Amino acid sequence: MTWSRRRFIERGSAAAALTAVWGCEATGSARTQETVGASPLGTARRPLAEAGPMVPPVPAILLTVNGRPGDPDEISVLWTFVVNGDPPQIGVSAGFEHQARELLELHDEFVLNVPTAHMVEAFDTVDMSSSRVADKFELSGLTRGRATSVDAPTVEEAPIHCECRIIDSLEVPPVRKLFIAEVVATTALEGAVDEAGRLIVPNVDFFGMTAGSGEHYAMGRSVGNIGMTVGRSDIKY
């Protein structure tokens, strides 16, 4: 199978494709009014038995990085978040059990592959195997590619590739290491973005994990956009 991929390297747009996954595209006060009304939630608040980072949705990301000499390339599922829009920077958090942690320390370059809902079984296969050495391309049935600007593999089915270079890291006790990276190039499959490099959300069935339930949900209806309260629709991140 052949994919046609567009490349965006302007600093302002490099991280936009990733962060726009969780942005929205609707405008106008009518849309705002739709979201204000009766809520199915009660008014009483109760403490949960177990504290947790219940901040849904969490982006579903497949991180790809070169393997050790003699080992296959690695795909891992890691916690991922946006650090900055300009310059474009992201963060990933790897546990000591993740194969990706030592590989990120070794290579300093990687790719964030943004999957779609039809890839959810392959995504979970990788997620459940992120702590062991294996050819996860073969295991998951995903297609191996190569990045355009960094030395790292890619998942070709993913509509967005954010090619990253590590600029800093931090040990986070008890079992995590946080890596901060600059997005040096972004590519997108045709149809995922417009001519200006802006994400066309309805065209791509992104999904994320709802932290707090452990379930995967595709993006639902648009409920607004960044800057809608001040009449702006040009902000991507």
Q: What integer pLDDT is reported at residue 150 of this predicted model?
A: 98
- pLDDT tens across 180-231, in order? 999 999 999 999 999 999 999 999 999 998 888 999 999 877 777 888 889 9
Read off the pLDDT of each residue in 138-149 and give the average, rounded to a whole number: 97
Query: Which residues lie closer than 8 Å to 207 by C-beta, 6 or more apart?
Result: 60, 115, 116, 117, 120, 216, 217, 218, 219
Contact 116, 207 (CB under 8 A): yes
Q: Quote the percentage of the chain above a pLDDT of 90.
A: 70
* Cβ neighbours, 10 Å, residue 52: 8
- The answer to whether residue 32 scores a pLDDT higher than 50 is no
Bond into 174 cis (ω within 30): yes
Query: Which residues lie closer than 8 Å to 184 by C-beta, 6 or more apart?
Result: 9, 14, 149, 150, 163, 164, 165
Residue 8: pLDDT band with limits 50, 70, 90: low
CA of residue 190 relative to chain centroid, distance = 18
Phi (first) and psi of residue 154, to 5 degrees:
-135, 165
- The answer to whether residue 20 scores a pLDDT higher than 70 is no
**Distance between start and end Cα atoms, the chain:** 32
Average pLDDT value over all residues in the chain: 86
- The answer to whether residue 15 scores a pLDDT higher than 70 is no
Q: Pick 4 or 107 by higher pLDDT.
A: 107
Residue 109: pLDDT band with limits 50, 70, 90: very high
Residue 2: pLDDT band with limits 50, 70, 90: low
Residue 18: pLDDT band with limits 50, 70, 90: very low
**C-alpha span between 111 and 15 (Å, rounded):** 12
pTM of the model: 0.83
* Cβ neighbours, 10 Å, residue 53: 9
Into which CATH architecture does domain 11-23+56-217 fall?
A: Roll (2.30)
Bond into 87 cis (ω within 30): yes
Domain boundaries, the chain: 11-23+56-217
